[in-house]
Amino acid sequence: MNLTNYYWYFKSAIPERICDDIVRYGKQLQDEMAVTGGYGKENLNKKEIKNLQKKRNSDVVWINDRWVYNEVQPYVRLANKSADWNVQWDHSESCQFTKYKKGQFYDWHCDSWDKPYQRRQGDPSHGKIRKLSVTVSLSNPKDYKGGELEFDFRNMDPDKKPNIKKCTEILPKGSLVVFPSFVWHRVCPVKSGERNSLVIWNLGWPYK
């Protein structure tokens, strides 16, 4: 993969009315505490919740409506071509609508891992890995402070100096950024207001 481009962005690509529709729809659905790899969604004890929230603290809703994918996925395909990644992918996970309120954040992480999904035969995600991630800004930047999306282009290699970049390009409402799922990133703590975003992970067969 060509990593001359660590991410590819589109400013104000999704119309504001569509952003508002997604936010309105997401807030009608039952949310849940966001988790990370290594934690199940149910039956966490107080110690596990406390440890989890040192890494990630936000509330999420899962959306599978086709109209949401139809708004976002054309930009994933365009970014894949324009950035010269040419990643092969053929399935998308559920859209994650995320609410970051004051004090909430998501520390350094990458979206992919070494081992492919082990699901039942016939599941479209079985044997695949996350290859391209996309984040859509659904909030007006005037409605919150903090909550910046940052990338670390050294990919957390301890032998390299930090190479951190704030992704200010997606501050305008409706902007989105696409990046290889193995690129490390974080959402800084929100200082005031509420930051809403939409994330989709796109899957394909493991790299050879």
Report the chain's terminal Cα–Cα distance, integer Å: 11
Does residue 142 sit within a domain? yes
Does residue 194 sit within a domain? yes
In this structure, what CATH number is given to the domain that contains residue 153?
Answer: 2.60.120.620
Cα distances (Å, whole numbers) of residue 74 to 4, 70, 191: 22, 7, 33
Supply the pLDDT for residue 39.
53
Cα distances (Å, whole numbers) of residue 15 to 12, 31, 174: 7, 24, 6
Does residue 54 sit within a domain? yes
Supply the pLDDT for residue 73.
98
Does residue 167 sit within a domain? yes
Supply the pLDDT for residue 18.
98
Does residue 2 sit within a domain? no
Supply the pLDDT for residue 188.
98
Does residue 200 sit within a domain? yes
Domain assignment of residue 123, given as a range? 8-204
Supply the pLDDT for residue 38.
56
Q: Specify the number of domains making up the chain.
A: 1
What is the DSSP code (8-state) at residue 173?
T
- pLDDT, averaged per 10 consecutive residues of the chain (208 residues), comes to 85 98 96 75 76 88 97 98 96 97 96 90 94 98 97 84 93 98 96 98 94
Does residue 109 sit within a domain? yes
Does residue 15 sit within a domain? yes
